[in-house]
Amino acid sequence: MVNKIAVLTSGGDAPGMNAAVRAVVRKSIFHELEVYGVYHGYDGLQRNIIRRMELGSVADIIHRGGTMLQTARCLAMLTGEGQARAAAALREHGISGLVVVGGDGSYRGAQALARHGLRVVGVPGTIDNDILGTELTIGFDTAVNTVIEAVSKLRDTASSHERAFIVEVMGRNCGDIALRAGLGIGAETIIIPEVPYDLDEIGQKILRGVKRGKNHSIIIVAEGAGDAREIGARLHEIAGVESRVTILGHVQRGGSPTAADAVLATRMGAKAVEALMNGESEVMVAAWHNDIILRPLDLAFAERPPFDRGMYDLADQLAI
């Protein structure tokens, strides 16, 4: 029986992580469990920075970006020694269940803790939307909205100056932010790691647009698909159009969660507590067909999540 639960956030922060932490804490207290917050991700866990959480510990955070528990990318958690230290810290507090809010790298740490006898549940928190088995990850919707807002501002200046803008967005090896934002803002071209691209063709497309009177172009590049500066320089050579490169960077990770992310995070955090109460372990919560379900944790590293080719083709068809 799990009666002491801890929650940590790990990896890159994502808007909505706070809402997930709040849900874990309040749902646990509702069910009369003791709940603890681990600060600074796995790094803090190894250093035993663990504090008892009360209802008020998570007051006024549901709408805030970042993570009140803070986060880290912790290499030591890849080592047997680090994992043993982390498990010992939890045991010292009598904690037997851990909720890990983060990406697939963070789930590897959770799996290691399961080998030390702890019950672990993953909650997908990453703006990249790159976790297999869940249709959405916490923070993705907010990041897409941030990109759309930024690109619509760039569009104003792009059309005033008749320029092409190459906009690099985050997403490591996953083009979902670029794809969703590109479709939502009507980008002329979306360059993502999942689809091979030909810069000559893209250059010709820009030229066709210029010929029919278009006064700007927006090219969204996912960071994993190539260097935006090099792509910009090459397109300038091919199409001869004046261009500028904007790298949106970490602005995409900040800001208040959208309503969709705050609700998703809240439902996922609560589901994680239910899972631990029901004796589950090595599972992750997942958004699936408008429901929140449980999936095996190792599914997250089984393969890359499927890419929505239909959405990509639609964006392409509409940007002729």
Closest to ligand F6P by CB, 48 or 70: 70
Closest to ligand F6P by CB, 95 or 170: 170
Residue type, 282: E
Closest to ligand F6P by CB, 68 or 241: 68
Closest CA to 139 of 126, 121, 157: 126
Residue type, 160: S
What is the smallest separation between the CB atom of 67 and ligand F6P, expressed in angstroms?
A: 13
Contact residues for ligand F6P (CB under 6 A)?
Answer: 12, 73, 103, 126-128, 170-172, 223, 253
What is the smallest separation between the CB atom of 236 and ligand F6P, expressed in angstroms?
A: 26
What is the smallest separation between the CB atom of 222 and ligand F6P, expressed in angstroms?
A: 9
Catalytic: 128? yes
DSSP letter for each residue of 138-185: BTHHHHHHHHHHHHHHHHHHHHHHT-EEEEEE--TT--HHHHHHHHHH
What is the smallest separation between the CB atom of 114 and ligand F6P, expressed in angstroms?
A: 23
Straight-line distance from the first to the last Cα atom of the chain, in angstroms, rounded to the nearest whole number: 59
- Exactly one of 13, 104, 128, 141 is catalytic; which is it? 128
**What is the DSSP-derived secondary structure letter of residue 195?**
S
Closest to ligand F6P by CB, 33 or 265: 265
Cβ distance 170 to 137 under 8 Å?
no
Cβ distance 289 to 128 under 8 Å?
no
Catalogue the active-site residues. Answer: 128
